[in-house]
Structure 1
Amino acid sequence: MPEEPIRLAVIVGSVREGRLGLTVADWFAGRARGHEDLDVDVVDLAEVSLPMVLPRFGAAPGAEAGRALAALTPRLARADAFAVVTPEYNHSFPASLKNAIDWHDRQWHAKPVGFISYGGISGGLRAVEQLRLVFAELHAVTVRDTVSFHGAWKHFDDKGAPTSPQSCDGAAKILLEQLTWWARTLREGRAARPYAT
C-alpha cells in the first residue's frame, strides 16, 4: 500500500515589490513536484494580509486578522514539512516572514523546516541562521542542508530558470530528501504519541 504523500508548504517570505522570492520559490516547487511522494503548496505571504500587530495574549484576533488566518492557518496546519524561501535584509529575514511565523504556534510543532535563501555575497545564510533560532523556539526541526543563491539576481534568467542548474538542482535534491525523511519520521511520531510542549 503506497504511503500518503508528504504535504510540503513552500513559504515565500518576501512581500517586496520586484522581489526575486517568487521566482526562487517557483523553481524550488518545480523541483519538489518532481517527487511523486510530495504534495506541494506554495504559500505566498504577499497574498496574505496579516496585521503587523498581534492581539494581546489570549485575546481573539480582529476581523481583518481572522480573515487572513482563515486563509493561511489551515494550510500551515495541514503541512508535514516547510521549505522557507527567504532573502536577507540587513543581516536578517523579512518582517513579513517573522509576522507570519509569530501569528502561529502549534502549526510548526514537531515538523521539519528547510531553507532556500538568496541575497548578495552571503546568499541569505545570515537570515537562515537567525530563522533556525526562531523555529527552535517553536519546537520545529530545522534541516541542516540549505539551498543558497549568492548574488542571486545573476542566477536566474528572464524566464525564471536557473542559469547554472546543475549546482542548485543538486542542492535542492539533497534538501528535499532530508525534508522528506524528517517529515515521514516526525509524522509517524506525532501519530504514535502526542508531542509534549
Structure 2
Amino acid sequence: MIVKLNIIIGSTRPGRVGPKIAKWVDQATREHGKFDVELVDLADFNLPLLDEAAHPRMQKYEHDHTKMWSASVASADAYVFVTPEYDYFPSAALINAVQALSLEWNYKPAGIVSYGGISGGLRASQVLRQLLGNVNVHAIPQAVPVPMFPKFISEDGVFTANDEMNAGVTGMLDELSKWAGPLATIRSAD
C-alpha cells in the first residue's frame, strides 16, 4: 500500500519559519520512500475562523476554502503536522483548521514536528495530540521537537537538522507507516 502523507505547515504568520522546517520534513519523507508526499501550506487555504454554519460532521460546506481544505485532508492516509509553539500552544490557525472538519480526519495516523525555544515546541505538540485524538486521529507518540530552532537556520534561510532530529523523523515515519495500513482497513470497513 502506498500511503498518501500530507505534511501540513501549521503556521500562517508572516515571517514564519514553518515552511523551512517543513521542507526538511518533506525531503526526509521522500528519502524514507514509503509515502506519496504532499506538502500542504495552511496559508494557501485562507481559512477564516469557523465560518461554516453547519457542524463539520454534516459536511455541508458552503465556502470554497472549506471545500478545498476538506478535499486536501480527505485525500491523505496520514499526516505530519509541523507546528510552532505560541504561548505553550499550537498556532490558532492550526487549531482552527483541525476544528473546521470532522469526518475527513477519521482513523488516520499523525506525527508532529514541533519547533520553539528550549522545549522545542513539545507543549504545543502535546496539546495538538489531544485535539487530534478528539477528532479521531491516532496521534503517535513519536513527536520530533526542534529546540532553539533559529540555530539550525542558515543565513540563506535553509534549515539543517542535527543527527538527533534526523533520527527522530525516521522513527516517526517508520511508525506512521506501520499504523497507516491497519487504520486504512478500519476506514474501509465503515
State whether structure 2 residue 155 is matched by structure 1 residue 160.
no
Of residues 36, 53, 56, the one that matches 1:56 is 53
Structure 1 counterpart of 2:71? 74
- The separation in 2 between residues aligned to 1:40 and 1:140, in whole angstroms, is 18
* Runs of 5+ unmatched residues, structure 2: none
RMSD value over aligned CA atoms? 1.6
Per the alignment, residue 106 of structure 2 pairs with 109
1:11 partner letter: I
Letter in 2 for 1:40: V
Report how far residue 168 of structure 1 moved: 1.2
Secondary structure of the structure 1 residue equivalent to 2:32:
coil
Structure-2 change in CA distance of 1:107 and 1:61 (3 Å): closer
Q: TM-score, normalised by structure 1?
A: 0.89
Matched, 1:133 2:130: yes
Equivalences, count: 186
Alignment of 1:179-190 (within 5 A): 179-190=176-187
Distance in 1 between residues matched to 2:142 and 2:175, nearest whole Å:
8
Other-structure match for 1:146: 143
Q: Which residue of 2 aligns with 1:41?
A: 38
1:31 alignment counterpart: 28
* Deviation, structure 1 residue 50: 1.2
Partner of 1:22: 19
The aligned amino acid for 1:73 is S
State the secondary structure of the residue aligned to 1:90. Answer: coil
Q: Which amino acid aligns with 1:161?
A: F
Q: Which amino acid aligns with 1:38?
A: F
1:174 aligns with 2:188: no
Asked if the contact 2:116/2:148 (under 8 Å) is kept, the reply is yes
Tell me the TM-score normalized by structure 2. Answer: 0.92
> How big is each residue's C-alpha offset from its partner over 1:155-193, in whole Å with a ceiling of 9 and x where there is no partner?
22234131x5322111110000001111112112322x2
Tell me the distance in 2 between the aligned counterparts of 1:117 and 1:125: 6
Alpha-carbon offset, residue 10 of structure 1: 0.4
Q: Structure 1 stretches of 5 or more lacking a match?
A: none
Q: Stretches of 4+ moved more than 4 A in 1?
A: 58-62
Given that 1:54 and 1:61 are in contact with CA atoms closer than 8 Å, whether structure 2 keeps it comes out as: no
C-alpha distance in 1 between matches for 2:64 and 2:53: 18
Question: Higher Cα Rg: structure 1 or 2?
Answer: 1
For residues 61 and 102 of structure 2, the distance between their equivalents in structure 1, rounded to whole angstroms, comes to 14
